[in-house]
């Protein structure tokens, strides 16, 4: 395989972030965009292992604004890129069982409304009458947004990769970036098994491996990999067609319809950082106990598939987006902390603006800069699952 010898931008990683960045750079007229993915296929790591949820229901202004902008791009996706993405507005329902969560969600609810996100507040009895399949005696209330929903991750990646290629970008698989060279604190080239590519700009879109890319040039990127796992059940004929994305907030437990069955996950908050992607059977038993306590019907069904993937987690559960001041030509789109699929479309556009126009202008992304960690300007997200 021949690889380009020079590029205007090299993107490391072909998940949703790399794919969206490649497409938006090419769309804005960048000529020599090269995306390098080390796996045999694009989008098979965190992006391909995610639950597919999209939601407006966040607790910080920046995350809500990212959702508002991204969702209008998802609405136009098929028209713009010719790729269907199986967008389903089934709604997200956050179940609240503790007084302190009810209080916090009231404040979040106010912020969402101020930004034009019309999440609804449901009382305990309303929640119970909407979800008769679930055991919900302890639920005090819930927030509900019927505009939240689901999308197919693989279609988003394929749509952006195909779109980028049509616009002249080179997107290659089976080609990992082994090293990055600097000249006088500026990006100079990337090394692959097939040779070097000279480039003034590198985009770190390596998901859970983002810190390793930073290490290549001595930049500390505070992103750690944390295992999260999912199981999908065999068909459940009693499941209503519009069963929503339900999150038991106190338990970090979630459910949504996946084909004729249910997809469920439960985050282990004691999971240590590592690149281990084996399913943890002990945790799975705990997860299923909690899941069956909420949906007793699960006792009667089997598991059709299970897998583990890696969240790419930052200390404040917000992404790192934009230029890295220490190294000229180095940019990050990392650390989406378990909710990056939904923000991939807008973040790829914002990074393309930052690179080509000098500054992202569709949205101010200064608060997402890498420098916030050393300046102590963290922006904690409460709604993390
Ligand atoms: C179980 C689970 C459930 C989730 N649920 C949701 C959800 O419901 N909604 C949501 O919005 N988000 C969800 N997420 C989070 C979301 O999947 C991620 O935030 C998002 O996919 C991150 O995309 P990425 O492109 O940064 O990373 P990735 O998809 O991991 O892409 C990074 C790519 O970089 C490649 N790479 C690494 N190193 C190199 C190298 N040296 N050279 C070349 N390539 C390299 C990797 O092979 C990989 O393909 C979930 C994640 C998990 C694990």
Structure tokens at 239: 């499941």
Phi, psi of 167 (to 5 degrees): -90, 5
For 323, the token pair is 């230029």
State whether residue 81 is helix, strand or coil: helix
Give nearest CA residue, ligand 1 atom 50. Answer: 50
Report d(CA 214, CA 43) in Å as an integer: 21
Give the position of tokens 């420098």: 371
Tell me what pLDDT residue 80 has. Answer: 98
* Dist. CA 140–CA 161, nearest whole Å: 44
Q: Are strands 9-12 and 202-204 parallel, antiparallel or unpaired?
A: parallel
Q: Which two tokens stand for residue 19?
A: 């794919």
Q: What is the pLDDT of residue 384?
A: 83
Q: How do beta strands 224-233 and 202-204 pair?
A: unpaired
Atom of ligand 1 nearest to the CA of 307: 1
Q: Ligand 1 centre and the CA of 385: distance in Å?
A: 16
Q: Which residues line ligand 1 (CB under 6 A)?
A: 12-18, 36-39, 45-47, 49-53, 176-177, 205-209, 228, 230, 265, 309-312, 336, 338-342
CA 164 to the chain's CA centroid: 20
Chain position carrying tokens 């970090």: 252
Instruction: List per-block mean pLDDT (blocks of 10 residues) for the chain, which spans 385 residues.
Output: 95 98 98 98 98 97 98 98 97 98 94 97 97 98 98 98 98 98 97 98 98 98 98 96 96 97 97 98 97 97 97 97 97 97 98 98 98 92 83
Asked if 321 and 368 count as a contact pair (C-beta separation under 8 A), the reply is yes
What pTM does this model have? 0.98
154 vs 151: CA distance, rounded Å: 9
Q: Which of 19, 150, 206 to mutate to test the pocket of ligand 1 (most atoms within 8 A of CB)?
A: 206
CA–CA distance, 138 with 14 (Å, rounded to integer) = 43
Angle between helices 61-81 and 153-166 (to 10 degrees): 60
Other Cβ atoms less than 10 A from the Cβ of 328: the count is 15
The residue whose CA is least distant from atom 19 of ligand 1 is 340
Give the model's pLDDT for residue 105: 95
- Alpha-carbon distance 348 to 319, whole Å? 12
Ligand 1 centre to CA of 336 (Å) is: 9
As a whole number of angstroms, the distance between CA 34 and CA 202 comes to 10
Q: How far is CA 207 from CA 18, 105, 159, 313, 341, in A?
A: 9, 29, 19, 9, 11
């Amino acid at each position: 395989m021949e690889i380009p010898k020079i590029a205007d931008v090299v993107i490391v990683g072909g998940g949703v972030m790399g794919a969206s960045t490649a497409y938006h750079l090419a769309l804005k007229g960048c000529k020599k965009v090269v995306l390098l993915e080390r796996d045999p296929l694009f989008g098979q790591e965190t992006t391909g292992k995610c639950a597919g949820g999209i939601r407006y229901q966040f607790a910080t202004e920046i995350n809500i604004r990212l959702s508002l902008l991204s969702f209008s791009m998802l609405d136009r996706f098929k028209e713009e890129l010719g790729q269907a993405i199986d967008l389903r507005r089934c709604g997200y329902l956050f179940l609240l069982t503790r007084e302190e969560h009810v209080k916090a969600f009231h404040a979040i609810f106010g912020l969402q409304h101020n930004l034009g996100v019309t999440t609804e507040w449901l009382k305990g009895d309303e929640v119970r009458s909407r979800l008769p399949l679930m055991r919900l005696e302890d639920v005090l209330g819930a927030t509900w947004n019927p505009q939240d929903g689901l999308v197919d991750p693989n279609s988003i990646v394929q749509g952006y990769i195909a779109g980028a290629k049509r616009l002249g970008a080179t997107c290659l698989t089976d080609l990992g970036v082994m090293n990055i060279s600097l000249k006088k604190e500026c990006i100079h080239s990337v090394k692959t098994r097939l040779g070097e590519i000279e480039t003034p700009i590198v985009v770190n879109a390596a998901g859970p491996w983002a810190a390793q890319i930073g290490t290549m040039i001595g930049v500390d990127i505070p992103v750690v990999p944390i295992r999260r796992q999912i199981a999908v059940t065999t068909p459940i004929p009693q499941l209503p067609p519009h069963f929503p994305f339900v999150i038991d907030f106190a338990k970090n437990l979630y459910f949504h319809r996946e084909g004729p069955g249910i997809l469920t996950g439960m985050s282990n908050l004691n999971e240590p950082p590592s690149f281990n992607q084996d399913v943890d059977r002990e945790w799975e038993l705990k997860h299923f106990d909690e899941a069956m306590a909420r949906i007793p019907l699960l006792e009667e069904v089997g598991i059709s598939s299970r897998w583990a993937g890696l969240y790419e987690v930052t200390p404040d559960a917000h992404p790192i987006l934009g230029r890295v001041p220490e190294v000229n030509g180095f940019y990050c789109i990392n650390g989406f902390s378990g909710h990056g699929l939904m923000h991939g479309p807008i973040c790829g556009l914002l990074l393309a603006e930052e690179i080509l126009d000098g500054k992202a202008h569709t949205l101010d992304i200064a608060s997402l800069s890498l420098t916030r960690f050393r300046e102590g300007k963290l922006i904690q997200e409460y709604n993390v699952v």
